[in-house]
Amino acid sequence: MLVIEDAEAIGAAVSSALRESGYEVQHRLDGRQLEADLGRFRPDLVVLDVMLPGRDGFQLLDVIRRSSGAGVVMLTARDGVPDRLRGLSAGADDYVGKPFVLAELVARVSAVLRRLGRTPSTVQVGDLVVDADAGVVMRADQPIELTATELRLLVYLAAQRGRVVSKTQILTAVWGYEDYDPNLVEVHVSAVRRKIEEHGPRLVHTVRGLGYVLRAEE
């Protein structure tokens, strides 16, 4: 995945959130080497700022559409209807206005990739099946009812299955902030764990001092 954003802090935050969701990410401050990146890196999706030095986002969008099948999510402070229509009519797959919540941006990126067939919407861990597109969770063929936040949390853990994720990573990916009370994570993890463990052994494990991991014990 390629992030083209000239504001270093924003670009770094977006790149970090996407990496924490399991994506390989390269960050560029401008589009000077876009053609080379498209040929060498071959990104599945480009998060593209509009207000860039040199060629702006609309010019770069034209380059992407002429030479790549990558999805494009445009990112800009210009959130007026004319700009959105211009970007979408030129071939952008989605358009996110600043300021934005990182969790929403990651969700939009994931949705575009799923529409393009670049990532599976269904993840299975043991006998647990999580379908992010349909918002359906099943275990042992039994449906599990989750709140919207619990579902986002479980979808994130499923995307990171087998890897330990910290409370800060979960806060950033699910809520979009790093400075919430970490107890918020504990409460929601406990709720998810309780619901899915009604139908089988533990899948969400606590790794003391590090965070949580979703995995099936052999």
- Indicate the SS3 state at residue 208: coil
- pLDDT for the residue 104: 84
pTM of full prediction above 0.85:
no
- pLDDT for the residue 202: 93
CA distances from 122 to 77, 94, 158, 159, 210 (A): 33, 22, 9, 10, 27
Count structural domains, the chain.
2
Q: In CATH, what number is assigned to the domain containing residue 111?
A: 3.40.50.2300
Domain boundary among 79, 97, 116: 116
Confidence band for 6, pLDDT divided at 50, 70 and 90: very high
Domain boundary among 67, 88, 116: 116
The per-residue pLDDT for range 16-50, each reduced to its tens digit, is: 888 877 688 899 999 999 999 998 888 999 999 99
63, 117, 65: which is closest to 91 by C-alpha? 65
Same domain as 100, residue 19: yes
Same domain as 90, residue 15: yes
100, 133, 92: which is closest to 17 by C-alpha? 100
Domain boundary among 94, 116, 138: 116
**Plot region of 31 (φ>0 → left; ψ -120 to 50 → alpha; else → beta):** alpha
Reading the block at residue 121, the tokens are 């919407």
The per-residue pLDDT for range 63-106, each reduced to its tens digit, is: 999 999 999 999 887 656 677 777 777 889 998 888 888 888 98
Paired strand residues for 72: 46
Domain around 52: 2-116
In contact, 45 and 112? CB cutoff 8 Å? yes
- pLDDT for the residue 181: 77
Same domain as 128, residue 108: no
Encoded amino acid at 132, one letter = A
- pLDDT for the residue 33: 93
Same domain as 51, residue 71: yes
- pLDDT for the residue 120: 63
pLDDT at residue 60 tops 90: yes
- pLDDT for the residue 79: 59
132, 133, 136, 124: which is closest to 200 by C-alpha? 124
| pLDDT-above-70 percentage for the chain | 94
Paired strand residues for 136: 131
- pLDDT for the residue 178: 62
Count CA atoms within 13 Å of residue 34 on its CB side: 28
> How do 26-28 and 2-4 pair as beta strands?
parallel
- pLDDT for the residue 97: 86
- pLDDT for the residue 58: 92
- pLDDT for the residue 118: 77
CA distances from 133 to 50, 103, 120, 130 (A): 28, 16, 9, 9
